[in-house]
Structure 1
Amino acid sequence: MPYSLQGKRILLTHADRFMGPALQQTLQAEGAEVIASSDALLEESEPADLIARSGEIDVLLANLALPAPSTPAGEVSEEEWREAFATLVDPLPRLCRAVLPQMQSRGHGKILVMGSASALRGMKRVSTYSAARGAQLAYVQALGVEVAGQNIQVNAIAQNFVDNPTYFPESVQENPRFQERLKREVPLGRLVSADEDCSFAAFLCSDAANHFVGQVFPVCGGWVQR
């Protein structure tokens, strides 16, 4: 392999959802020790507690997810908005604040956020979800350039049309209307496989990717521009 994760300790959040199961499998296959956490991380103290329990880690892989609401913007409730930000946004700076001191002390470390390309273009009926995912990406870009000089790389994958059980379960993939949508909107004509996505994430977790800082990498099979 052009890169190795041998000996790397990687903390994976929300390991039971979104890309979590596939990421754990790929990272372990590449030699990493994966600390797989399914903690909800909704309480203010949970992220710091998780970092403390995990000990020394080389990579924080912030995989945060909740089912995307499909509410028209004018009907979005306070509860929906708060839930999205409490699940997708609030844990991120808390995790980073807790893990950065050890990375700064060692002089190296990585943070990779598994995000969504819904923040990169306008999409109907996903204003809440897109706003929360957009906040993740903005945070990554700002933090990435701030800590780059300390040999800490912070980046994000902004994905859509990637095979995963949270957003594209079998029931969706088998729907003829969804299959037609893939042909219409995605040049690949198919979902990006979990293996393809997770292999790229594994590369970004490796020392071979030390030159990427504050970057947002779209992984979405190519969108047809409209």
Structure 2
Amino acid sequence: MSHQPLAGKRIFITHADVFMGPTLCKVLTEQGATVIADTHSLLDKDEPAALIEAAGDIDILIASLAIPAPTSLAIEASDQEWAHTFAHLVDPLPRLCRAVLPQMIERQAGKILVVGSASALRGIKRASTYSAARGAQLAYAQSLALEVAKEGVQVNAIAQNFVDNPTYFPQEVQQMPAFQERLKREVPLGRLVTMEEDSTFIAYLCSDAANCFVGQVFPVCGGWVNR
């Protein structure tokens, strides 16, 4: 692989100022990509289409959507919590894809990568609303992938947890003894995956070397102890 495997690629990243956004933009730029770092909330239903149109040609869409995860017990989770979470994490995804896919299909080339969460892959207490939204992201990506693969477009997702980032694992949480014990108990790696490690893997999935993957969900978790 060349030193700049993403040279000539135009990559649109959502919520680029939070979650994995800043580090991801840095790593992709270092690998040669032209990064369109968008920071809009995407809550307005017409916003995704307008932003994609303004961006012009897009080779890769990275749908990285994030909000602090609600931690209500399932029996206490309100309709408002559910609607708020899905409005931020799920509703923008099909709007973004509908906006960007026509140009990718016309070129018979393109990639869409959903930066999701491993909370969708196993049960987590006090995370029913959040896990449901993250699960919807992965299900949508897998189904969409089967529809557009024949058009030269690869859609994949990563499902991450125990990855260092300020949205879900801020420093004040990481420094808590209880969290450090949790890492030892639940993560064989014994530490968080770094933002650079995660972003470098995402960069690989954006490269032509990963054109063979379609509809895959890649866990990035530092390993899990089965419970």
TM-score range, shorter chain: over 0.9
Give the whole-Å Cα distance in 2 for the aligned partners of 1:219 and 1:31: 24
In the alignment, residue 98 of structure 2 is paired with which amino acid? R
The amino acid of 2:10's aligned partner reads R
Tell me, in whole angstroms, the C-alpha distance in 2 between the residues paired with 1:43 and 1:78.
Answer: 20
Q: How do 1:59-208 residues align onto structure 2 when only pairs under 5 Å count?
A: 59-208=60-209
Secondary structure of the residue aligned to 1:61 is strand
Q: Deviations over 1:32-70 (max 9, x none)?
A: 000000000001001101101110010000000000000
Deviation at 1:12, TM superposition (A): 0.4
Q: Distance in 1 between matches of 2:69 and 2:154?
A: 28
> How far, CA to CA, are the matches of 1:34 and 1:100 in structure 2?
18
**Partner amino acid for 1:55?**
G
Distance 1:184 1:203 in 2: 30
Rounded to whole Å, the distance in 2 between the matches of 1:161 and 1:67 is 15
CA positional deviation for 1:111 = 0.2
> How many angstroms apart in 1 are the aligned matches of 2:28 and 2:113?
13
Q: Which ranges of structure 2 fall in alignment gaps of 5 or more residues?
A: none
Q: Distance in 2 between matches of 1:83 and 1:54?
A: 27
CA-based RMSD: 0.8
User: How far, CA to CA, are the matches of 2:211 and 2:87 in structure 1?
Assistant: 30
Secondary structure in structure 2 of the residue aligned to 1:134 = helix
Aligned to 1:74, what secondary structure does the other structure show?
Answer: coil
The offset of 1:146, in angstroms, is: 1.0
Unaligned 5+ residue runs, structure 1?
none
Amino acid at match of 1:191: L
**Structure 2 partner of 1:55:** 56
Map of 2:32 onto structure 1? 31
Displacement after TM superposition at 1:145 (Å):
1.1
The CA deviation string for residues 154-194 of structure 1, in whole angstroms up to 9 with x for no partner, is: 00010000000100011111111100000000000000011
Structure-1 separation of matches of 2:151 and 2:38: 27
Query: Structure 1 residue 93: deviation in Å?
Result: 0.2
Per-residue deviation at 1:29?
0.4
CA distance in 1, matches of 2:27, 2:64: 14
* SS of alignment partner, residue 75 of structure 2: helix
Identity among equivalent pairs (%)? 69
Aligned to 2:163, what secondary structure does the other structure show?
coil
TM-superposed deviation, 1:215: 0.5
1:107-130: CA deviations, max 9, x gaps?
Answer: 100000100000000010000000
> TM-score, with normalisation over the residues of structure 2?
0.98
CA distance in 2, matches of 1:123, 1:13: 26
